[in-house]
Structure 1
């Protein structure tokens, strides 16, 4: 299945937004390791937890850009939206 348009990029820090069934998944900052294909229409990411280094696959709908993070764009600096 082809990759959908992903909101986040490899190397970007994101915040995990857990759902009711994610009680055992550590909250906090994750680093995007790889863009994954989606079987449900919601792009997925392989991410690594910043504190414990465990990797897992999380859907884009459960991630948010880390507040206050800036990226280098070809036209200059700008906020990640």
Structure 2
């Protein structure tokens, strides 16, 4: 598997999927880089809007600068 695309402290745009429920779309900060599984790499990220920490997959993220 290729290396993680995002790094600790980086701001990203989170794009929730229908199965994520009422998780807000928006800017998140990567707080921990986690080992991936066979499908995708994973991260812990904190939402800037509500402060909640979430487990997110790399395919759900865009660089924050690209989202602007």
- From the CA coordinates, give the structure whose radius of gyration is larger: 1
What's 1:17 paired with? 15
Question: Could you tell me whether the CA contact under 8 Å between 1:32 and 1:45 is conserved in 2?
Answer: yes
TM-score by length of 2: 0.85
Query: For each residue in 1:36-78, what CA deviation from the matched residue of structure 2 results, as whole angstroms up to 9, or x when unmatched?
Result: 112233010000001211001100000000126xxxxxxxxxx
Flag the structure with more relative contact order, 1 or 2, with Cα contacts below 8 A and sequence separation at least 6: 2
TM-score by length of 1: 0.73
What's 2:55 paired with? 57
Structure 2: runs of 5 or more not aligned: none
